[in-house]
Amino acid sequence: MSGSLRVALSVVIATVAGCGEIEPVEPPGFADAIALPTPVDLSPDPHVLELDLVARETSLELVPAGPTAMWGFDGHVPGPLLEAEVGDRLIVHFHNELPEETTVHWHGIRVPNEMDGVPDHTQHAVQPGDSFEYRFELPDEGLYWYHPHVRSAGQAAAGLYGAIVVRAPDEPVVDEAVLVLSDAAVGDDGALLPADSGGELATLFGREGNVVLVNGRVRPTIRARVGVPLRLRMVNAAIARYFQLALGTLSFTVIGGDRGLHDGPRVLTRPVLTPGQRLDAIVVPQGSVGQTIALRWIPYDRGFGSTEFRDPEDLLYVELERGPDRAVPMPTIPSRPFEPIVAATPTDLHVELTRNDRDGHLALGFDGVPGWEATPFPARFGEVQRWSFRNTLEWSHPIHLHGFFFQPLDAMGRPTGIWADTIDVPVDGSASFLVRFDERPGLWMIHCHVLDHGDAGMMGMIELSR
């Protein structure tokens, strides 16, 4: 169908639909350039998504010098986009065809502990040639993602990550794109740099790739209709890079984050996603037909020297197509009322993010203790804990809690009105959150999602029991 016919058709539908609302009809192939693979669903049950997932070697065309050998789920970077509805079951027959052991962690999803993908603590690592079956329910709406938890920085930087969309039944249908933001560290010959390139100084810095990627592509172009709201569902899957974003001069109407929709929209011009975080935002493309606007990465100061000498980088282009003649209203997004966690006497935990080298080697940690030497923090079913982090280092640390959402608090200790699973502890600063534990016993990890930092010891465990 020609573009103009599609436009005409959308106007007709709008007229038929009446009430001034326009039926969303994307320009044909509008997002082909960033299409993500989808899995074959092996289950006849509409409320079960069952699939095979293979971690294996693959190769991508990222630079003119030649192909880049990487690792990918099902040979794709990112891996397949898993789409389901709230309450559906996910069954993943995972198979490891990598030359080393691995696991799959389901970032943000409230899984039973034995499905959390943390080697030694929740399962045995999956050896080369072996399989593991993940099965759990998807209790919450939102954008989630999956990645390994063995040598996390190296394996994720090699390309092992993918997105999961869990939809609520009352979400409106609008033009939508899932954007998996990441980067790759590629040498002049096209080969991926080794995970330890640059040594411990690079680990301390957190390795940022020199090629920024959107859905595994370098500067792809999508199309959008002028004036028609476009929902961008973004996850930062990079191991260290913070994504501060700008889209021309447009503003982002943020409607959700780590745990699905917020209680209402918040308008931002330059949202920031730390590694691990998600952002759900609506943009309304403005400009003239044929014009292209760039989604850009804007340097963000996440620590010593990280913004010096750096320029913005284009991530993605949006080419504008003709929109409908009448203005299209913003879609009505259901709001999820925010209920602050209330506890008369929450358990207070104060944690310093520290560096205490061991035997002349870099070791980061909580309170001077690297993760591998630490004793777990205890927690009880139903307990409310208030975690406060103080950063003693010249780097920001995005702290991620497995298995639970928490409520970030502002400097006065009041809830900020959102739910999250990853919180930024800025350079020389602090951050705190409230969490209420439910009844899923086991060892739950909490760590810095600059994965180089996590692997270097900035991680701890919470032992949840009755």
453 binds ligand C2O (CB under 6 A): no
CA separation for the pair 290, 321 (Å, rounded): 6
Task: Considering the complex, state which of residue 436 and residue 449 has its C-beta at the smaller distance from ligand C2O.
Answer: 449
447 binds ligand C2O (CB under 6 A): yes
Query: Residue 64 is which amino acid?
Result: P
Task: Considering the complex, state which of residue 231 and residue 302 has its C-beta at the smaller distance from Cu ion.
Answer: 302
Interior/surface letters 138-159, b for 16+ CB within 10 angstroms, e for the rest: bebbbbbbbbbbbbbbbbbbbb
Q: Report the partner that residue 450 touches, choosing among ligand C2O, Cu ion, none (CB closer than 5 to 8 A by kind).
A: Cu ion
Contacts with Cu ion, residue ranges (CB under 5 A): 397, 448, 450, 453
Q: Is residue 8 classed as helix, strand or coil in its secondary structure?
A: helix
| Per-residue x/- track, 403-442, ligand C2O (CB under 6 A) | ----------------------------------------
| Per-residue x/- track, 299-318, ligand C2O (CB under 6 A) | --------------------
115 binds ligand C2O (CB under 6 A): no
Q: Report the partner that residue 105 touches, choosing among Cu ion, ligand C2O, none (CB closer than 5 to 8 A by kind).
A: ligand C2O
Interior/surface letters 24-37, b for 16+ CB within 10 angstroms, e for the rest: bbbbeebbebbebb
Beta-strand pair 142-147/105-107: antiparallel
Half-sphere exposure of 168 (CA within 13 A, CB side): 16
Continuous segment of H or E residues that includes residue 18 = none
Q: Report the partner that residue 453 touches, choosing among Cu ion, ligand C2O, none (CB closer than 5 to 8 A by kind).
A: Cu ion
Q: How many residues comprise the chain? A: 466
Q: Could you say which of 121, 207, 400, 453 contacts ligand C2O (CB under 6 A)? A: 400
* Among the listed residues 137, 140, 231, 233, the one whose alpha carbon sits nearest the alpha carbon of residue 180: 233
Question: What's the closest the beta carbon of residue 46 comes to Cu ion, in angstroms?
Answer: 41
Question: What's the closest the beta carbon of residue 276 comes to ligand C2O, in angstroms?
Answer: 5
Question: What's the closest the beta carbon of residue 67 comes to ligand C2O, in angstroms?
Answer: 28
Q: Report the partner that residue 149 touches, choosing among Cu ion, ligand C2O, none (CB closer than 5 to 8 A by kind).
A: ligand C2O
Query: Residue 128 is which amino acid?
Result: P
Left (φ > 0), alpha (ψ -120 to 50) or beta: where does 215 sit?
left
Q: Could you say which of 110, 225, 259, 402 contacts ligand C2O (CB under 6 A)? A: 402
Q: Report the partner that residue 379 touches, choosing among Cu ion, ligand C2O, none (CB closer than 5 to 8 A by kind).
A: none
Question: What's the closest the beta carbon of residue 400 comes to ligand C2O, in angstroms?
Answer: 5
- Return all residues near 466 (Cβ < 8 A) that are at least 6 apart: 380, 381, 439, 441
Say if CB 131 and CB 94 are below 8 A apart: yes
Task: Considering the complex, state which of residue 207 and residue 397 has its C-beta at the smaller distance from Cu ion.
Answer: 397
Q: Could you say which of 160, 295, 316, 445 contacts ligand C2O (CB under 6 A)? A: 445
6 binds ligand C2O (CB under 6 A): no
Alpha carbon distance, N-terminus to C-terminus of the chain: 60
Question: What's the closest the beta carbon of residue 165 comes to ligand C2O, in angstroms?
Answer: 17
String of DSSP letters for 356-371? --BTTB--EEETTB-G
Question: What's the closest the beta carbon of residue 350 comes to Cu ion, in angstroms?
Answer: 18
CA separation for the pair 428, 395 (Å, rounded): 8
397 binds ligand C2O (CB under 6 A): no
107 binds ligand C2O (CB under 6 A): yes
Question: What's the closest the beta carbon of residue 121 comes to ligand C2O, in angstroms?
Answer: 11
Size of the site for ligand C2O (CB under 6 A): 10
CA separation for the pair 63, 85 (Å, rounded): 37
Q: Report the partner that residue 107 touches, choosing among ligand C2O, Cu ion, none (CB closer than 5 to 8 A by kind).
A: ligand C2O
Task: Considering the complex, state which of residue 76 and residue 107 has its C-beta at the smaller distance from ligand C2O.
Answer: 107
* Among the listed residues 216, 214, 218, 220, the one whose alpha carbon sits nearest the alpha carbon of residue 292: 220
Task: Considering the complex, state which of residue 231 and residue 397 has its C-beta at the smaller distance from Cu ion.
Answer: 397
Question: What's the closest the beta carbon of residue 446 comes to ligand C2O, in angstroms?
Answer: 8
Partner residues linked to 366 by β-bridges: 353, 369
149 binds ligand C2O (CB under 6 A): yes
The verdict on whether omega for the bond into residue 78 sits within 30 degrees of 0, i.e. cis, is yes
Binding site for ligand C2O (CB under 6 A): 105, 107, 147, 149, 276, 400, 402, 445, 447, 449
